[in-house]
Structure 1
Amino acid sequence: MGDSDSDDYWVEEPELAPNDPMRAYIPTSFGKASKEANIAAQIEQTRREVEKPPPKEKKQKKPASDSDSNSDSDSDDDSESDEEDVAEKYPVTHEIVLKTHERAVTTIALDPAGVRMLSGSLDGNINLHDFSSMTPTTLRAFKSVDPWEATKSASTDSHPIQHLEFSPLSGSVFLCVTAHPQAKIMSRDGYVVTEFVKGDMYLRDMNNTKGHVGEIATGTWHPTDQNLCVTAGADSTLRIWDINNKRSQKDVIVFKSKAAGSAGRTRMTAVAWGAPPSGGNSMLVAAALDGSLVLYSGNAPFNRPSGEIKDAHKPDTWTGGIDISSDGRMVVTRGGDGLIKLWDTRKFKTPLVQVEHPSTSDRYPVTNIKYSPTSSSIITGSASGHLHILNPGNLRPEHVTPITPGVPLIVVDWHSKLNQILTGSANSETHVLYNPKLSSRGALEVMSRAPKVRHIDDDPATTIDQSIGMSADSIITPGTMGSKRSGFTASGKSRDPRRPQVQQITPFMRSQPDEKHISENIPLSRMLHEDPREALLKYADVAKKDPMFTNAWSKTQPVTQYAEASDDEDEGPDRKKVKR
């Protein structure tokens, strides 16, 4: 057969039945396979499979005509379609799961652009995720940071991460609150920019201390000024900081508790800082451990609260969730007493609505509650692992969906630009929920990329470290491995206190003088390698012959005389002394 006839022949394929098991071993096509990813199939793989509740048993009725039975079936179909329509209204139809922590996830933050995500945990680490660099097969953090790595010793543990929040406008820095009296301002790459000062614990008047003297529970940013933030501490104060001045707070608000036996002090558990979009005055709302809820004007001076409710929640229960609506009129709180309450800032006396909602503050005090970006919904987690989307008017659930069934859902957030919901659970999982029809970028952008190309013989279970996603044949630069990779911290120091730090070779060290130059030009440098005892004994005979310091009284110094022992005194120490 010539070259001209090469296009005329065809290959006879075996004829197999459609259900023949042999089809699994025969390729569907020949030639070079296409590298284009099936984006629709990838997104469909992330669709959440939510089990529908079993249908309720209906009471037996008298037999009816066929028209009645048809109407009953139609009503069942309508109810199922209504549930699906409700789910399509919110970004909860699809999800991606990030497992980058070892303990419960307590806080989540997204920058205003929706590119970088932070997650904090009880393990004391902050994991940085970048949606622009993740693919469907590389869902992991690109960096893990311990804020107290440089100051903690080998015997101390890391401080749990209480709250993380990006600056509202630029997102160039974020506020880091840990279980410590000092909060930090860190860059978006995880480096400490500012560390606020700690107050003097021996001063009784909290107005005179320059910082917190107790553990900080939470904090937040000013809604319009990216240089101001506020922190709430266990020393019964709210402190407003200017991030450009770390040596002292800008303003301090001392809350005086009226509860019996508190001596005027209580722990501040939650704080929110909101401003209406019309440009009015901002407002500070804070909750205390004694059950109080206080409202301050967001502008100084903060001498007296503009509103105070003594028994907003049950005393000695942790009110960890608080948020202000986008119009600045409503405040929602979630207390440790198992209640969610809605408050009106214009009539700050009694709650408008309250509903029961089981609390998880006994184990996870940082459990929060959040308004949606448009304040058309309220979201919060539950002890059973469900996400509750509530109506902002009557606090009734509009949609409830399981995220981590049986495991408490601790923290939630709803990003305005991405229109995606983020959740953190007690099983160290971070879920990003989205809807391809309603959401943009973020998780949707991740699942719209082709998976990372991997060698055909590369088995992730055997050749890739699942904790860091690093292949066994990868070339690793020394000093670049994180704290979880080879026993070293991000700065290159060993976690083992008995292991000395490896001295790094730098251009400055290469230009240092050698040992010969030091011994010839630096006096007494040879004594570094001598035995101190031998060096001192070498001058013992010289000191006796020619004393330098005792030569003035060497001739007049009296001779030491010792009594000679008699024969009777040689019997030993057991002989009794003679009485004289």
Structure 2
Amino acid sequence: MDMSATDEDAMRQFMPASFGKKDAGVDIAAQIERCRRTIVDERKQAAVKDTSDKDSDDDSDSDDSEDEDEFPVSHELVLKTHDRPVTTITLDPSGTRLVTGSTDCTFKLHDLSSLTPTTIRAFKSVDPFQTKSSATAESHMIHQVLFSPLSGNQILVITANPQARMFTRDGDMVAEYQKGDMYLMDKLKTKGHVSEVTSAAWHPTDREKFVTAGTDSTVRVWDVNKSMKQEQVVLHKSKALGSAGITRMTAVAWGVAPEGNGSMIVSAALDGSLVMWGGEGPWHRTTGEIRGAHENDTWTSGMDISADGRLLITRGGDDTIKLWDLRKFKTPVNTTAHPSTSSQYPTSNIKFSPNSSSVITGSETGHLHILNPATLRPELITPVTPGSPLITVNWHPKINQIITGSANGQTTILFNPKLSTAGALTILSKAPKKRHLDDDPNFTTDLDPLGMAGDTVGSQGALTTNTFKSRHPTIGLTVSGKSRDPRRPHIPATTPFAKNTPDEKYVREHIELSSMRDEDPREALLKFAPKEGEKNIFTGAWDQTQPKTLYKDYDSDEDEPDAKRAKR
């Protein structure tokens, strides 16, 4: 049979050219380009609109490109794994694991190396108060989560509670640090904080130590492996009027000392003061103290020490940002106005860039501010979540990406393909994954228009998603582990006591004389009574010395007293 050229071409298109699974290919450049931000710097965008001269427009465009090459803010990747404000963000030293904390009383772990563009979600959600060792009904918002700076195998978690907690990088709790006795008047004698812990920081070089600051007016240094008592405790005696010598410590930072001479701890207090101690002591006196660094009764939420240990940046509740020289710890080097969000979000922070050449912080309008540390003037102002306050920021030194957390529950990764490595680029270098039936549509995206775009799975007569879930109620769980089937009853959390309740077999085998609980007490005593002719073992010593009874014997009912006869 002769085949025409048209038929031959059709046959070639129909028959496979090779066997095995084919790689559809990923257009990485296109995926990265879709993450490009429309507005990088609002100030220069406004300048372009106001300037009608074409030459000035060209100059501003060139300035935008220079900013994109200077700061990693040209592209963004959004993670929406929290429903409430994100209060803290931390990454491990390698930049592969991201942990976010929120006011929903949970912190969530994200593995950036395993995410794909369509499956951006947390692989674990942890409530610090719903663990095996502390299964209680209480929950508190997350103030801080901090990866250990050197190894990255431990996560320090600070909640609105007097106790700090230590977790592994997989979210398993390994230590719960001691709470102090609140009835002791001398705070130096307590073994831990007696009220809420507000902030914490790791030792810059020793991975076995960290420091916490609390509302009990103390700063405490802890050993990671000793959870029953702190190593050192320092009581800050406030000298503000009406404070009675007690104030709240709002923030703490632990950095290297200038010129590499050990380390230093700096803490801020609610009375507006800044206090500095040597990281290795002495603890009985301060290295430096500034009264009125910020206004009294204002919450200084942000504090950071530069990489060389020379500069300190603080963000106060008095709507100011101040730069301090730790070598001349007396007056601020520079001050600028910046609206504060610490009254509503007390964990609003401020950070130095990895090389201390810039300072980053958020604003109540949802913008990221990148400041010059010498002048504290903004070098770039870029919108991240307009209309929703930007609470926490973090600039990772290895991957060179900026991660932000906002009040709308959104976590944003800002990056630049020319300057950044790994992180968001690793996610965007993978092929999109089609949404599975059990995936949560809030965290995944369906790219196949002929697939499960709606509720139905197939054509007429096919099972629907809701029908599948009703038949399989254990399939399709949320990130927190709850079932999506509204008809499935809530299963209460199993307490450790309920897990270890002994059964009857265990009691009989492991508890001595446990079988006696099933015996009649009277029968158990009578079996020790002596039989006729046997010697009384227990009370035989009183057989010869037992006194005679003194009660009167009656021969008949007639001789009984009238009172006794009446009772009968």
User: TM-score, structure 2 length as denominator?
Assistant: 0.78
**Structure 1 residue aligned with 2:376:** 395
Question: Does structure 2 conserve the Cα–Cα contact (< 8 Å) formed by 1:277 and 1:326?
Answer: no
How far off is 1:346 after superposition?
1.2
Question: 1:341/1:514 Cα in 2 relative to 1: closer, same or farther (>3 Å)?
Answer: closer
The match for 1:181 among 159, 162, 165 is 162
**Structure 2 residue aligned with 1:433:** 414
Are 2:37 and 1:48 aligned? yes
Are 2:28 and 1:35 aligned? no
Question: Does structure 2 conserve the Cα–Cα contact (< 8 Å) formed by 1:168 and 1:221?
Answer: yes
Question: 1:524/1:240 Cα in 2 relative to 1: closer, same or farther (>3 Å)?
Answer: closer
Question: Does structure 1 conserve the Cα–Cα contact (< 8 Å) formed by 2:259 and 2:309?
Answer: no
Identify which of structures 1 and 2 has the higher relative contact order when contacts are C-alpha pairs closer than 8 Å and 6+ apart.
Answer: 2
Q: Unpaired segments of 5 or more residues in structure 2?
A: 437-447, 458-467, 523-548, 554-559
**Structure 1 residue aligned with 2:531:** none
Pick which of 105-114 and 444-453 moved more: 444-453
**Structure 2 residue aligned with 1:363:** 344
Are 2:483 and 1:486 aligned? yes
Question: Does structure 1 conserve the Cα–Cα contact (< 8 Å) formed by 2:97 and 2:112?
Answer: yes
Are 2:339 and 1:339 aligned? no
Distance 2:469 2:355 in 1: 48
Question: Does structure 2 conserve the Cα–Cα contact (< 8 Å) formed by 1:111 and 1:171?
Answer: yes
Distance 1:300 1:168 in 2: 22
Q: Which amino acid aligns with 1:485?
A: K
Question: Does structure 1 conserve the Cα–Cα contact (< 8 Å) formed by 2:154 and 2:169?
Answer: yes
Question: 1:161/1:182 Cα in 2 relative to 1: closer, same or farther (>3 Å)?
Answer: same
Q: Name the SS for the 1:207 alignment partner.
A: helix
**Structure 2 residue aligned with 1:542:** none
Q: Which amino acid aligns with 2:452?
A: D
**Structure 2 residue aligned with 1:122:** 103
Q: Which amino acid aligns with 1:486?
A: S
Q: Which amino acid aligns with 1:128?
A: L
How far off is 1:391 after superposition?
0.4
Question: 1:500/1:343 Cα in 2 relative to 1: closer, same or farther (>3 Å)?
Answer: closer
**Identity of matched residues, %:** 52
Distance 1:558 1:108 in 2: 93
**Structure 2 residue aligned with 1:218:** 199
Q: Which amino acid aligns with 1:49?
A: T
How far off is 1:475 after superposition?
8.6
Question: Does structure 2 conserve the Cα–Cα contact (< 8 Å) formed by 1:276 and 1:326?
Answer: no
How far off is 1:479 after superposition?
13
Q: Which amino acid aligns with 2:125?
A: S
**Structure 1 residue aligned with 2:56:** 75
The match for 2:280 among 276, 284, 299 is 299
Are 2:325 and 1:328 aligned? no
Question: 1:219/1:495 Cα in 2 relative to 1: closer, same or farther (>3 Å)?
Answer: farther
Residue by residue over 1:148-181, the C-alpha shift from the partner in whole angstroms, topping out at 9 and shown as x without a partner, is 1143544x4x100001101111011011000000
Question: 1:132/1:56 Cα in 2 relative to 1: closer, same or farther (>3 Å)?
Answer: closer
Aligned pair count reads: 495
Pick which of 31-40 and 278-287 moved more: 31-40
**Structure 1 residue aligned with 2:533:** none
How far off is 1:502 after superposition?
13
Question: 1:90/1:479 Cα in 2 relative to 1: closer, same or farther (>3 Å)?
Answer: closer
How far off is 1:53 after superposition?
2.7
In the TM superposition, what are the counterparts of 1:62-141 in structure 2 within 5 Å?
72-141=53-122
Q: Name the SS for the 2:65 alignment partner.
A: helix
Distance 1:236 1:525 in 2: 58
Q: Which amino acid aligns with 1:193?
A: V
**Structure 2 residue aligned with 1:199:** 180
How far off is 1:301 after superposition?
2.0
How far off is 1:234 after superposition?
0.4
Question: Does structure 2 conserve the Cα–Cα contact (< 8 Å) formed by 1:87 and 1:399?
Answer: no
Distance 2:243 2:141 in 1: 27
Residue by residue over 1:492-546, the C-alpha shift from the partner in whole angstroms, topping out at 9 and shown as x without a partner, is x96648x99998899x99x96899xx9xx9455499xxxxxxx99xxxxxxxxxx
Question: 1:474/1:412 Cα in 2 relative to 1: closer, same or farther (>3 Å)?
Answer: farther
Question: 1:258/1:276 Cα in 2 relative to 1: closer, same or farther (>3 Å)?
Answer: closer
Are 2:179 and 1:190 aligned? no
**Structure 1 residue aligned with 2:452:** 459
Question: 1:94/1:222 Cα in 2 relative to 1: closer, same or farther (>3 Å)?
Answer: same
How far off is 1:219 after superposition?
0.2
Are 2:257 and 1:264 aligned? no
**Structure 2 residue aligned with 1:567:** none
How far off is 1:435 after superposition?
0.7
User: TM-score, structure 1 length as denominator?
Assistant: 0.77
Distance 1:339 1:431 in 2: 25
Question: 1:430/1:183 Cα in 2 relative to 1: closer, same or farther (>3 Å)?
Answer: same
Question: 1:461/1:286 Cα in 2 relative to 1: closer, same or farther (>3 Å)?
Answer: farther
Distance 1:333 1:8 in 2: 76
Q: Name the SS for the 1:314 alignment partner.
A: coil
Distance 2:14 2:38 in 1: 32
Distance 1:94 1:477 in 2: 39
Question: 1:496/1:78 Cα in 2 relative to 1: closer, same or farther (>3 Å)?
Answer: same
Are 2:355 and 1:374 aligned? yes
**Structure 1 residue aligned with 2:441:** none
The CA RMSD measured in Å over matched residues stands at 3.9
Question: Does structure 1 conserve the Cα–Cα contact (< 8 Å) formed by 2:118 and 2:434?
Answer: no
Question: Does structure 2 conserve the Cα–Cα contact (< 8 Å) formed by 1:487 and 1:495?
Answer: no
How far off is 1:95 after superposition?
1.1
How far off is 1:75 after superposition?
2.2
Question: Does structure 2 conserve the Cα–Cα contact (< 8 Å) formed by 1:320 and 1:336?
Answer: yes
Q: Name the SS for the 2:56 alignment partner.
A: helix
